[in-house]
Amino acid sequence: EIVMTQSPAILSVSPGERATLSCRASQNVNSNLAWFQQSPGQAPRLLIYAASARATGIPARFSGSGSGTEFTLTISGLQSEDFALYFCLQHNNWPLSFGGGTKVEIK
Amino acid sequence: EVQVVESGGGLVQSGGSLRLSCAASGFTFSSHEMIWVRQAPGKGLEWVSYISSSGESITYADSVRGRFTISRDNARNSLYLQMNSLRAEDTAVYYCVRDGRTAPGTFRRFDYWGPGTLVTVSS
C-alpha cells in the first residue's frame, strides 16, 4: 500500500498571502495525484487532478505541481473561503490512499 | 446538473447489516466508474471500494473485504454498498463518488461527491 504523507498538518496563513501544501508518496505514483478541499460539514471538492490540472470551476489561484513522489498545492492570495481542510489522493495503485490532510487556518 | 445522493445510513448494532444506496442523475451513469469513500468522525478520508462502469471489475480496501459488497444497477442509475458484520470502526460518513473520466487510459478525476450518509455502529 502506498502511504501518502501531507505536511504541515496545520498551516497558519494571513488572508491574501500564499499557502504551500506538500504531499509525499511512499513510492512513485507518476502524475496520478488529486487534491481536494473540504469545508466543515461538507463533502470534499475536487480541486486538482493529474497532479496539475484544475478541475472545472476551480479558480486560477489554486495550482498543483509535482510528479513521482513529491507534490505541491499552492493557493495564491488566500480568500476567506479557502480556510479549510485539504487532502491529497493517489490513484496510481490499488488501494487508493489519501493523505492525512492539511488544515489551512487564519493567522 | 450532475448529482449523486446517498441514502440508507443509520444506527445499527455491532454485527448488523446496512445497505447504502447512491442515486445518480444528470449524467450517463453507465459510462462512469464509481467508488465509495468514508470518513470517520473527525478523521481523514478512507477509500472503501471501486466498481467499473459495467460492474465487472470490483475491488475493496482490506479493512472491508469479505464484509462489504459493492454493486450497481445501470438501468436504475444506482450504486449500492451492502455492509455486513459491521464493527464500531465502520462508523463514518459514507460518500458515493463519481470518476469523471470517460475513456480508459485518461486520468481519473473523482469530480462529484454526494453529501454523504452517516453510518453509526454501536457496540
Contact A56, B111 (CB under 8 A): yes
CA distance B112 to A36: 11
Nearest to B116 among A43, A49, A96 (CB): A43
C-alpha cell of B114?
454526494
Judged by CB atoms closer than 8 Å, whether chains meet at B107 and A94 is answered as no
CA distance A59 to A44: 16
Residue A71 has pLDDT above 90, yes or no: yes
Contact B64, B88 (CB under 8 A): no
pLDDT tens figures, A25-50: 999 999 999 999 999 999 999 999 99
A91–chain B Cβ distance below 8 A for any pair: yes
pLDDT band (50, 70, 90) for residue B123: confident
A46–chain B Cβ distance below 8 A for any pair: yes
Amino acid letter at B67? R
| Spatial CA neighbour of A42 closest among B79, B26, B39, B48 | B39
Q: Which chain A residue is nearest to residue B4, measuring alpha carbons?
A: A43
A45–chain B Cβ distance below 8 A for any pair: yes
Give the mean pLDDT of B84-104: 95
Amino acid letter at B117? T
Task: List, in order, residues 6 or more apart from A21 with CB less than 8 Å away.
Answer: A6, A7, A11, A35, A72, A73, A74, A75, A86, A102, A104
CA distance A29 to B37: 20
Interface contacts (A, B; CB < 8 Å): 59
Contact B68, B58 (CB under 8 A): no
CA distance B34 to B58: 10
Contact A39, A23 (CB under 8 A): no
Model pLDDT, residue B105: 85
pLDDT band (50, 70, 90) for residue A82: very high
pLDDT tens figures, B21-74: 999 999 999 999 999 999 999 999 999 999 999 999 999 999 999 999 999 999
CA distance A33 to A92: 8
Model pLDDT, residue B111: 97
Residue B120 has pLDDT above 90, yes or no: yes
Q: What is the mean pLDDT of chain A?
A: 97
Q: What is the mean pLDDT of chain B?
A: 97
pLDDT tens figures, A47-64: 999 999 999 999 999 999
Judged by CB atoms closer than 8 Å, whether chains meet at A98 and B45 is answered as yes
Q: Which of residues 48-67 of A touch B (CB under 8 A)?
A: 49-50, 53, 55-56
Residue B102 has pLDDT above 90, yes or no: no
| Spatial CA neighbour of A7 closest among A106, A78, A73 | A73
Angle, alpha carbons B97-A90-A14 (nearest 5°): 90
Model pLDDT, residue B116: 98
Cross-strand bridge partners of residue B25: B3
pLDDT cut 70: percent of chain A above it: 100
Contact B55, B71 (CB under 8 A): yes
Model pLDDT, residue B104: 83
Contact A4, A88 (CB under 8 A): yes
Q: Which chain B residue is nearest to residue A57, measuring alpha carbons?
A: B111
Q: Which chain A positions have a beta carbon within 8 Å of B34's beta carbon? A: none
Residue A81 DSSP one-character state? G
Q: How many Å lie between the alpha carbon of B44 and the closest alpha carbon of chain A?
A: 6
Q: How many Å lie between the alpha carbon of A51 and the closest alpha carbon of chain B?
A: 10
**Taking every pair of C-alpha atoms in chain B, what is the biggest distance, in angstroms?**
44
Model pLDDT, residue B103: 86
Q: Determine which of B110, B111, B117, B118 to mutate to test the interface with A (most A C-beta atoms within 10 Å).
A: B110
Q: Which chain A residue is nearest to residue B43, measuring alpha carbons?
A: A100
Q: How many Å lie between the alpha carbon of A17 and the closest alpha carbon of chain B?
A: 26
